[in-house]
Chains A and B, each alone.
Chain A
């Protein structure tokens, strides 16, 4: 009971002391603001990274690897990338016989922002994908109704389409799209399958996909660059599949041993690894900056608290004469340091919220949360309290040790 009363009084007193030295308190808190801001922003960046990772991984699909002209992990120099030969359908045809390690493999090419019409209705941001019947394996669990096109249909460039759930909703509000016609670039396609919704918060575009046979796509759009998706046999790891695929692709491209690949094999694992490395860098930089600013901050606040203790030596004497124990004096100065730091934490949270909001809205960082994650806001306040205790403890103890007569004699 007595301790609770003392804590309560200490908080009131600390607020009073902080308020009566506004300028000094403000300057002192700056170091806390900097330190806590590092913690908070680091948390926000990590959260954004996780979201970006999740988004990208789900784009990869489960357990498949992709051969592409582009390196999805940004680990290859762009000057090298633009020199690479495009990946064409003929490469896939040459690769196919060598894929004895694959469960299935298919080429694909896409036309983003395509307009699909049906009677007087249209959807303007559909994504038309040309591929082969083997793509059905990857989508097997997502067929809502109908079927995927067959190898025969793929061979003959049949005018058939499998549409995403949003496309179906838009073009067929009355339902039952199977067997009906849609129009892509002036050509009619018969809907033979509808996919179920696969959209996540960040990835709503997947429901706007329209799959048509590769040959039909090429007939309409001409020669295109492709992406080759390969699923390894069940006993192979992603890495083993990637290695096999690299070997097969090298022979397709006639690369001499030791020369660099002029294609990339992208796997979700490699990407996740890259993200992990990046995350470690963010953590490392964040921790070093936080540590440095904390060190500076703790030294600064310790100093200010020493000044505060000396200034109030007489007050300490009076309090001791009136019956304050050492504990009470320590509590008083510790509370003051902690209150100071927590005020700093709140200032920092306000600042970071503004920064984050500005960054997200101005630079359209869709994957980053537009606010400080609650866990990190809590972590910021907790760190600030630790900060306060660390920097207040030594001055508080030295203040509490002063003998009452010495303190009372202090002019």
Chain B
């Protein structure tokens, strides 16, 4: 089975005035379907930069990135938008829900951009919200929801297009510990359902839920290990 994500000697350099900032120096990495990967590392080590590259929000300044065998570096804006829309689901630390929209409308949004008609869109958004346990909060606006609920809406939005991978940058960063575990339980379930999950965290006990842990330092991979004994969030929640 070939890798969904194949990153070969990829780097990202920003130019700030006369200065070059190496956000990512050289990274080589393959991620297979249905993997559950955590990316760790100190602040400024390039975690978000790597995530943005994987998520096709940005293109590398060196090396080659193959997404499902296709070179991302050669794609134009529209093709990148298309990949983000169909293949990738983003979950952000700050949720990034649109404040004027209800939960349902927020979740419908990616489907608007793939041209799914209204009734079909609503049905699928409702389904995704049911999936994350928020089927009864469809008409709430983000400011009428708790932090954990907002992150669930964001996860529903990431799921609704049935993407191949879910990218989460510090998804528990703005949540209290217990709510964070609930979100991790949701990820575990999605993973068991066949999703590929890549999450960024600097909290070791969150990374422990993943099946593979990649550590970055100064824009390079410091270590890339299999987590032989991942934590089981459901069991922990039940035990509490």
Q: Interface of A with B (CB < 8 Å)?
A: 1-2, 5-6, 9, 16-17, 20, 314-315, 317-328, 403-405, 408
Contacts and interface: CB of A to CB of B under 8 A. Distances in A.
A317 B58 CA distance: 12
Given A322-B110, A405-B58, A314 B85 contact: no
Contact of B85 (A9, A322, A404): A322
B3 interface: no
15 contacts: A1-B115, A1-B117, A5-B115, A5-B116, A6-B112, A16-B100, A17-B100, A20-B100, A320-B84, A323-B84, A323-B86, A325-B82, A325-B113, A403-B58, A408-B92
Interface in B58-85: 58, 77-78, 81-82, 84-85
Interface residues of B, number: 27
A110 B96 CA distance: 84
Given A16-B100, A405-B52, A408-B96, A322 B115 contact: no
Contact of A5 (B78, B81, B117): B117
B58 A322 contact: no
B113 A324 contact: yes
B90 interface: yes
A401 to B, nearest CB: 9
Given A323-B86, A324-B81, 11 more contacts: A2-B114, A5-B112, A5-B116, A6-B115, A319-B109, A321-B96, A322-B109, A325-B78, A405-B57, A405-B58, A408-B96
Contact of B113 (A6, A317, A405, A408): A6
Given A405-B52, A408-B92, A408-B96, A322 B113 contact: yes
Nearest to B52: A405
A164 B90 CA distance: 86
Interface string B92-136: 100010101000000001101111111000000000000000000
A327 B116 CA distance: 17
B110 to A, nearest CB: 4
B55 interface: yes
State the 7 A-B residue pairs at the shortest beta-carbon distance, nearest first: A323-B85, A2-B115, A323-B113, A322-B110, A325-B81, A318-B96, A404-B57
B100 A323 contact: no
Query: Could you tell me the dominant secondary structure of chain A's interface residues?
Result: helix
B157 interface: yes
A96 to B, nearest CB: 84
A408 B96 CA distance: 9
A210 B82 CA distance: 84
Contacts of B92: 408
Nearest to B96: A318
A113 B118 CA distance: 70
Nearest to B158: A322
A405 B109 CA distance: 19
Nearest to B116: A5
A314 B95 CA distance: 12
Nearest to B58: A405
Contacts of B86: 323
